[in-house]
Amino acid sequence: MTRKNQRIALIVGGLAFLGIAAGLVLTAFEDSVVFFFSPTDLRAEPVDPERRIRVGGLVESGSVERGPADAEIRFNVTDGNSTLTVRYVGILPDLFREGQGIVAQGRLQNAVFQADEVLAKHDETYMPKEVADALKKQGHWKDGESPYPDAQETGAQQTGGGS
């Protein structure tokens, strides 16, 4: 084998190795990525029931129901256009309440989102970026106004140092 052929073989082998390594990294990365959806997105686009996703929006007023065991909670999340029922077993965050923004992580099974984690907003003006973007996309976001219509009515205020 000539030097030129050896160099070409080495380059081809190196590129093949890099391609295989990149493929393995991307496969591992894909398994750990959790995509965000709004209720409207989930109505329009089917999702594999085994795929972990995040859903965000506002907790619909009057929708929170506690199951026979206090740990089971059902509530609806809305983005203004569509509503999705969420089932969660566990202790909800202290800041969870109707009319507030949440992000839930879990799986969509039989049109009910089975959440294994629920995150609530931390003050009356904070909104997770994904939820804010989804509300803006649906036309339900007004700059300069609180995205939470119930925040002033309930007198909910955050005091303290803020975080």
Q: Which residues carry a binding-site annotation for heme?
A: 122, 126
Q: Which residue has the tokens 């969870």?
A: 96
Maximum distance among all Cα pairs of the chain, rounded to whole angstroms: 82
**Structure-block tokens of residue 76:** 């609806």
Q: How far is CA 66 from CA 6, 70, 142, in A?
A: 70, 6, 32
Q: Which residue has the tokens 């894909």?
A: 30
The binding site consists of 122, 126
- 138-152 as b/e, with b when 16 or more CB fall inside 10 Å? beebeeeeebbebbe
Bridge partners, 89 (sequence order): 72
